[in-house]
Amino acid sequence: MYLRIVFSREHFRAVVCRSLSAFMLILVPFPLHGQGSDSDRPVPILTGSAGYFTNVDGGSTSLAPIISPVFLLPLGDRWLVEARGTFEGEFTRKQGNGAYGGNVGKEVDYAQLDFIANRYVTVTAGRFLTPFGVYNERLYPIWIRSLQREPLIFPIATETSNGLMLRGGFEISPRAKLNYAAYFSTLSSLDKLESDRAAGGRIGFFFPRPKVEIGGSFRQLLQEERSRSVGFHFAWQPTGTMLNLRSEYAWSSGQGSGYWVEADYRLAQIPVWQSAMRHLEIAGRVQQFFGHLDADEAEEYSLPKTDTQHADLGVNYYFVDGLKATASYGREFSSSGNANLWSVGIAYRFVVPLGRVQ
């Protein structure tokens, strides 16, 4: 019964036809506008990040190289094709003391066409990151994140989506900005392009003066257990400091709930050893996950099996803007056992123009 519903050609055609119709309605009034000479135009670029990390979880060492290229192709004044893939290895010793071995995971994180319709609406079609919370869309790249381990609740409602999305960010008053995203994702079982049938959205309010952002997210799964997920996010950058505070909460009717609170601080304002301090950043995170999943569910969702708490402390040294060395220590407390979590590595962000830049 279930397979008959999700693979129905009629349903798939209906979704595709309606999505295309919506897209065409927007495209009609907007011819492509030239922007003058080539030197005034954005250039296609290949960017992304690469890194190499050594993780020790409860005494078990793993090596984790990762490369995540991002391709950006601007077209005209309003279009952007963007795609990101991730190749991530996880190599552990076989039988505890043999040679390191393992698999390299390959994913298409997003491959989307964006159309900036006007100052309020951008239309996105294709495969895109699910806008649930802010970690997935803004903080996930290894050169950005302050602590390399993802939050425990990160897998909740952040599976990549295939479908159509409307999003935008604009001023609603001199003191506040609104950002939003609303999407529909269709089911796909294609290898490397999997997605669930779901609908959802996120809304956020940013107050530039105190540099505070608050917001909420929602996702309704439209298949299988039809679970519902709700999330809230908060970010604050106190004026005059180099401190960032961020937090997210997520709850899912099928997976559990939890939160994380993270702070990172650039030491450039410390008045001693300036030559070293201006390169250093310290970061800390506390988090909890509440849930009881069986082994299969925990593996499927990449979530802990039971209630778990983490406390992490890390340090980053920025050689230059896009290159940093990172190290962290964390302690996991769980009813299935406590463990020390060490991580050390290097992350690099690259940018390669694919055309003349002058």
Partner 1 sequence: MTITARVFVRALLMASALVSPVSARAAENRAAESKVVPSIREATSADDPALRAEGEKRFQANCGRCHQFPHKFSPRVILTVERHMRVRALVSEDDMRVIIRYLTQ
Which residues in 267-306 contact partner 1 (CB under 8 A)?
A: none
Among 1, 29, 97, 337, interactor with partner 1 by CB under 8 A: 29
- Please state the closest distance from residue 266 (CB atom) to partner 1, in A: 8
Instruction: Please state, in angstroms and rounded to a whole number, the distance separating the CA atoms of residues 43 and 277.
Output: 35
Radius of gyration of the chain (CA): 22
Shortest distance, CB of residue 68 to partner 1, whole angstroms? 14
Residue whose C-alpha is closest to residue 280's, from 251, 235, 317, 246:
317
- Selected binder of partner 1 within 52, 83, 108, 179 (CB under 8 A): 179
What is the closest distance, in whole angstroms, from the C-beta atom of residue 292 to partner 1 in the complex? 28
Among 127, 149, 167, 233, binds partner 1 (CB under 8 A): 167
Distance between CA atoms of residues 203 and 182, nearest Å: 9
Q: Which is nearer to partner 1, 89 or 126 (CB)?
A: 126
Instruction: Take residue 260 and report the two structure tokens written for it.
Output: 């994380």
Residue 293 β-bridge partners: none
* Binding status of residue 47 toward partner 1 by CB under 8 A: yes
If 0-12 CB within 10 Å is exposed, 13-18 middle and 19+ buried, where does residue 22 land?
Answer: middle
The residue from 54, 61, 77, 333 that contacts partner 1 (CB under 8 A) is: 77
* Distance from C-alpha of 185 to C-alpha of 221, rounded to nearest angstrom: 9
Q: How far apart, in Å, do the first and last CA atoms of the chain sit? A: 59
Judged by CB under 8 A, the chain residues 181 through 200 that form the site for partner 1 are 181-182, 184, 197, 199
What tokens were used for 51? Answer: 């890194």
156: helix, strand or coil? coil
- Return the structure tokens found at 107: 């994913």
Q: Which stretch binds partner 1 (CB under 8 A): 57-65, 137-145, 251-259, 292-300?
A: 137-145
In whole angstroms, how close is the CB of 325 to partner 1 at the nearest point?
A: 15
- C-alpha angle with apex 138: 333 to 299, nearest 5 degrees? 40
Q: Which of 58, 106, 171, 238 is the binder for partner 1 (CB under 8 A)?
A: 171
CB–CB of 216/248 below 8 Å? no
| CB of 97 vs partner 1, minimal distance in Å | 40
What sign does the dihedral 302-306-307-312 (CA atoms) show? negative
Closest CB to partner 1 among residues 164, 303 = 164
Give residue 298's Cα distance to chain centre.
Answer: 20
The whole-angstrom separation of Cα 129 and Cα 99 is 36
Tell me the window of 39-47, 60-68, 247-255, 285-293 that interacts with partner 1 (CB under 8 A): 39-47
Q: Which residues of 328-350 are buried (b: 16+ CB within 10 A; e: fewer)?
A: bebebeeeeeebebebbbebbbb
168 binds partner 1 per the rule CB under 8 A: yes
- Nearest approach in angstroms of CB 113 to partner 1 is 10
If binding is defined by CB under 8 A, does position 117 make contact with partner 1? Answer: yes
> Which of residues 54, 61, 118, 335 is near partner 1 by CB under 8 A?
118
Interface pick for partner 1 out of 52, 93, 126, 211 (rule CB under 8 A): 211
Residue 240 binds partner 1 (CB under 8 A): no
CA 154 from chain centre, in angstroms, equals 9
**Residue of 44, 102, 155, 216 interacting with partner 1 (CB under 8 A):** 44
Is residue 320 close enough to count as binding partner 1 by CB under 8 A?
A: yes
Q: Is 83 in the site for partner 1 (CB under 8 A)?
A: no
Whichever of 197 and 285 has its CB closer to partner 1, that residue is: 197
Cα(348)–Cα(51) distance, integer angstroms = 6
Q: Which is nearer to partner 1, 36 or 101 (CB)?
A: 36
Among 85, 92, 177, 277, interactor with partner 1 by CB under 8 A: 177
Of 31 and 59, which CB lies nearer to partner 1 in the complex structure? 31
Residue type, 330: G
Per CB under 8 A, 26 contacts partner 1? yes
